[in-house]
Amino acid sequence: MKICVGLLLWLLGRSGVDMMEIPRGLSIGASTSAYQVEGGWNASDKGVSVWDAFTHEESSLIKDRENGDIACDSYHKYQEDVALAKNMGLQHYRFSVSWTRILPNGSPENVSRVGIRYYKNLIDELHTYGIEPVVTLYHWDHPQSFEEVGGWANDNMIDYFVEYARVVFRELGSRVKIWSTVNEPIIYCQFFDFGMNDDTRKYRCAHNLLKAHAKVYHMYQREFKDRQHGQVGIVLLCHNYYSLNGIDAEAEDIAFEFGCGWLANPIFSKDGDYPAVMKQKVAEESKYQGFTKSKLPKLSSSWIEYIKGSSDYFGLNHYTSFMVEQHPHLNDSGILKSDNPIWKKGVSDWLNIIPEGFGEVLRIIKEKYNNPPVYVLENGLSTTAGIEDLDRIKFLHDYMKQMIMAITHDGCNVQKYTVWSLLDTFEWKEAYRNRFGLVHVDFTNNRRMRTPKLSSKWLHEVITQRQLIKPDEFMKQFRAASYV
């Protein structure tokens, strides 16, 4: 369909419908991560990451035995991706840096100049079009050589990560003002840690990632802040929870603390440390299971003080909500999560579409953690392949509406909103079946041809007009303009 953009803007501007204004200063962007879009898995001197090794050696565990060897081929097509972001009007673009593209064997003594040049070119291309780069250091793709000595269960990973971060700050820091250290550490440790899947390792993994984050934060303050003037934060996944019987607020709180609060509390709360209810329940369950001490490692008083406040913003990923009820000894939290059968879902079986939950999470963060600056760095819907993604438009509209209400009515300090994702991506063990992109990617074509979806056009109008446009009104005017 041919689109007359000028007429579409005029029609929407004169439609007279009740549209919510985008708060002043709220930046709107989209996100991706290195392994999920870059491809070029062995280009130049890039080393082997843990996801390279896993998808090659355990392909039976991946849908359709796919991998990210080529993915969206953004390693070669980054200029096209930036052009898509520009045409959408995006104000920022969140992406991650591949550890093994920068340090092929993990050693800071062996820096890949080709890898550095790739990221400099990408960042410079973004700056050319006035798009702010928001860069994540670690989105689950550390060197395979480190995994072979224990991965994040090995305390040495903390210093390896600091060494890597120092190189990235030194090489790219003059071009980047917003950094995040780790994406969703709890999700990685619970579902994608490649070691033995047991609770003790899960807690050790998160413990070390928390320490690594804090050490990188303080290293940046000490070595780079004065001349680079950037911000450093962490990205946490925070679901919302509703008690199954409608009255068990304790179940809701326990579920939140074992998810979001697990690492948010040590960083953002007044007193620091792991949540009290989490320490209590893990200790009780550990004793019940015959352990001589809690499976949850203890943070010393010095570490509590060191970690507390180690983030310039609250990086938030939010997608969904769950029903919860208490079941002692079911697991360490004693919480059973479930879905409400009347809830609509995305293609991903875990993604319940509950816009109100987004607003609830923002209000919880405000109240629990003294209203920190919040950068929403992922929010989106999985669909099947296709261009006319009306479900995604409705999802984004309804979730953004709840966010705007939290900002304007409740005073939540949200400063950035980021759609996951710019492109259809390799979605980990689900491979290419679940499509989150604003842009369709043809993974059957060697050129990985990109086609903007309808949602990208809707988002463009929202950004251009600074108004949250209703899906039905957008579609009415879109179809009218398309046939002019």
For residue 452, the cross-strand partners are 439
* Marked catalytic residue, from 147, 378, 427, 461: 378
Beta strands in 379-444, from DSSP E residues, in sequence order: 414-420, 439-441
Residue 146 to residue 209: CA distance in whole angstroms: 14
378 catalytic? Reply is yes
Task: Please give the structure tokens belonging to residue 209.
Answer: 């990632």
Residue 237 to residue 255: CA distance in whole angstroms: 13
Residue 182 to residue 236: CA distance in whole angstroms: 8
In three-state secondary structure terms, 219 is: helix
Nearest to 321 by CA among 306, 342, 299, 298: 342
In three-state secondary structure terms, 253 is: helix
Residues whose CB is less than 8 angstroms from the CB of residue 347 and which lie 6 or more positions away in sequence, other chains included: 382, 383, 384, 433, 434, 435
Cβ neighbours around 166 below 10 Å, total:
17
Helices of type H across 182-235: 185-187, 199-223, 225-228
The full DSSP string for 337-374 is EE--TTS-B-SSTT-B--HHHHHHHHHHHHHHTT---E
Question: Which DSSP category does 143 fall into?
Answer: B
Laid out side by side, the sheet with 321-326 consists of 240-243, 321-326, 335-338
Residue 417 to residue 242: CA distance in whole angstroms: 24
Amino acid at 191: F
Is there a contact between 121 and 208 (Cβ–Cβ < 8 Å)?
no
Catalytic residues: 378
